[in-house]
Amino acid sequence: MNEIDNLIESVSAKQPSKGSVKKSKTATVTRLFDELSDNAYARILDKLRVVLENKKPYDRENVVMEQLGIKYTTMYYIMAGKRGFPLDRLGEFCARFAHMSCHEIALGEKKPVVLPKTLSYIVKTVMQLDIMRGENDTGFVSSLIDTYKTHIKPVASLPVRPDLCVCRINELADDVQMPPKRAQAVVWGKSNNVALMFRGQQKIMLISRIEENISHVKMTSALMLCFVLDVPLDYLVCEDYTRTCDIAYKDDTGNIIPVTDKDIIRLVSIYLSLPEDMQRKMFTDIALRSTLVKTMFSLVNPF
């Protein structure tokens, strides 16, 4: 990440020589993320201007504002550079108008979302089951898509759920078997810090000032979360991150494998847009089918 390295160097060069080491390190990190955040807002604004210039004069701002649900005054302040682009609308803007990922627009680099455990399991299993289809069979993935596409929530993309950031943090906490109650307590603890422990590393990583409502989360905090949790920005601000970003899963050896099959990406997209009970039902369907196939296989081939 050359850009970040350059920023660290430039910020460190501006560092005053006096003061305690601890204080200066904290200040460096804060200033680094402030600068990253300013750069990100500037890139988004540039992209917004390009998008608006390509529109016809009579629907130049109105269409964009209407489709993103941004008020006229807010748009005025954004265009004037007096306030940042709201994070809860960023995913929609990237998907509909910018046609690039939020992470790419904010930080200038592409990064796939590595799916959480449940989705990784679904993707891996569905790929295995789909290989076994017969010649006239429509395939397991297609049948799942047909079954579940009718259950998609009516408003899936806009506005994003207010507690999206917290849900994503909890999802990561679930994967490392940290109790959600404890993760919540840590997120909204007295120190107002987010702390997540990661397996094997035995270290606590801290990020300050994460708001409960995504519309109040600042870009600086969101970027800090991205770096600390090692996730792209899309994972934190888009409900259906397959619309803007590439996805990948970890195989049994820990290698990251990109998902390229369009049907499987569509299935992941449907899963992300389903209500929680239907998500569980989909997991149950797939897990039962897979367990049954394994059982049959072990009975037919005992050795």
Partner 1 sequence: MPRLPGSLSADVYDGLKDYICSEAADKYGVDREQRIEKLRDYDDALRDPRHNNNKSLPTLYTLPNLLSVANISLKDIYKDLWGVELTWPDEQAEEVANIMDGFSGNVYMERFAENLCGLVHTFIEPWWEDGDTGEGRLLNPTERIKNVYMKRVSLDERPNLPEDVQEILKRLVLMFHGVSHLELPRLCEVLHVSMHWVVGYPPEVLVLGKNKYTEMFMDDFLRLSANHRSMFADLVSASPDFVRKSFLDFFKGKEGSEE
The C-alpha atoms of residue 283 and residue 265 are separated, in whole angstroms, by 16
Establish if 81 lies at the interface with partner 1 (CB under 8 A).
no
**C-beta closer to partner 1: residue 78 or 165:** 165
The total of other beta-carbon atoms located within 10 Å of residue 14's CB is 9
For partner 1, the closer of residues 155 and 288 by Cβ is 288
Say how far apart CA 210 and CA 218 lie, in whole Å: 8
Host H or E run for residue 32: helix 21-53
Using rule CB under 8 A, residue 118 touches partner 1: yes
Q: Residue 110 Cβ, how far from partner 1 at the closest point, in Å?
A: 28
The answer to whether 257 contacts partner 1 (rule: CB under 8 A) is: no
CB-based burial of residue 122 (10 Å sphere; 0-12 exposed, 13-18 middle, 19+ buried)?
Answer: buried
On whether the CB atoms of residues 219 and 105 are closer than 8 A, the answer is no
Q: Cα–Cα distance between 19 and 264 in angstroms, integer?
A: 54
Is residue 145 within 8 A of residue 267, CB to CB? The reply is yes
Residue from 20, 150, 202, 253 binding partner 1 (CB under 8 A): 202
- The Cα–Cα gap between 115 and 245 comes to 12
Measured distance CA(98)–CA(96) in Å, rounded: 6
- With CB under 8 A as the contact rule, the residue among 1, 182, 208, 275 that binds partner 1 is 182
Binding track over 157-176 against partner 1, x by CB under 8 A:
-------------xx-xxxx
Binding of residue 177 to partner 1 (CB under 8 A): yes
Q: Which residue has the tokens 């529109």?
A: 55
In the complex, the smallest distance separating the C-beta of residue 193 from partner 1, rounded to whole angstroms, is 7
**Range in contact with partner 1 (rule: CB under 8 A) among 32-40, 78-86, 189-197, 220-228:** 189-197
Q: State yes or no: residue 197 binds partner 1 (CB under 8 A).
A: yes
Select from 36-44, 65-73, 105-113, 282-290 the region that touches partner 1 (CB under 8 A): 282-290
Q: Which stretch binds partner 1 (CB under 8 A): 13-21, 83-91, 142-150, 179-187?
A: 179-187
Least distance CB 302 / partner 1 (angstroms): 9
Pairing outcome for strands 247-250 and 113-114? parallel
The answer to whether 84 and 220 have CB atoms below 8 angstroms apart is no
The answer to whether the CB of 34 falls within 8 A of the CB of 84 is no
Least distance to partner 1, CB of residue 20, Å: 21
Residues forming the site for partner 1 (CB under 8 A): 117-118, 121, 170-171, 173-182, 185-186, 189, 191, 193, 195, 197, 199-200, 202, 204, 280-281, 283-284, 287-288, 290-292, 294-296, 298-299
